[in-house]
Amino acid sequence: MTVGILGLGLIGGSLARAYALEGHRVLCSVRNESMLSFAMLAGAVEAPLTPENMAQCDLILLAIYPEGSAAWLEKNAPYIRKDALVIDCCGVKKEICDRCFPIAKEYGFTFIGGHPMAGTQFSGFKYSRANLFDGAPMVLVPDRFDDIDLLDRAKQALAPCHFGSFSVTTAADHDRMIAFTSQMPHIVSNAFIKSPTALEHKGFSAGSYKDLTRVAWLNPQMWAELFLENKENLLFELDTLIESLKKYQMAIQNDDEAALVALLDEGKRRKEAVDG
């Protein structure tokens, strides 16, 4: 299989390594020529992905920001052959699916929205690895939900990544859920670390501090774009959290131990309910 990949960051680089490791031919489009050269030296990429060789690709994976991915597909759609499969790997789905489904229909190839639920707090090709997706969930957003053959085709195409499970949803439902499970933790972590006390934490912190602040180390430009593209869902989650925090604040201000115990117990029971 010949695989074309747009982008060589953590996700794109890990995709390239995963496919190359299993003997597939990997072509890559990336702005940074030195990064492309490094990936070629590392054995993750065979050659640049260009309009001249794009028709050789059985599978194309879009692994840059949503706006850039959609713009790239709009520009390069005429070079993609009609039996090719294109899957994006962006963190939000509605905007890119709204733009890319019509492009695929116009030019005759197949597009599926996708979101590999894997990553680290670090970004860039140097942190990529072939096993990043091993056992991880993969979310698929197809244009049609009654096409079992299409979903099976996507699973087979993604087999070298060794995802642990696949879920199928709509773009709107994906973005609603991802605001809570991914975007909110990044905001909370990033805001929490801004306390002036954080500068003095060494020697006083353990696992809870590490867990809460891990994703404060993020790519600001990428996450800002993702947040704004999912604005309404994210604002709902922010409003919900702020209202909840006010209750804790009020209980502590008023020395209301009973109210504080009730709030903490409610959160504990909710965790038990949602995570079993």
List, for residues 132-165, the tens digit of each pLDDT value.
Answer: 999 999 999 999 888 899 999 999 999 999 999 9
Identify the residue whose tokens are 């006083």: 204
The three-class DSSP label of residue 81 is coil
Q: By percentage, how much of the chain surpasses pLDDT 70?
A: 100
Average pLDDT over residues 79-88: 97
Q: Which alpha helices (DSSP H) does the chain contain, by range? A: 10-21, 33-41, 66-76, 94-107, 148-157, 171-178, 184-192, 207-213, 220-229, 231-253, 257-275
pTM: 0.90
Average pLDDT over residues 84-104: 96
For domain 2-169, give its CATH number from 3.40.50.720, 3.40.50.170, 3.30.70.260, 2.170.150.20: 3.40.50.720
Is the confidence at residue 48, as pLDDT, over 80? yes
What architecture is domain 174-275? Orthogonal Bundle (1.10)
Domain ranges of the chain: 2-169, 174-275
**CATH topology match: 2-169 vs 174-275:** no
Average pLDDT over residues 265-269: 96
DSSP state at residue 217: S
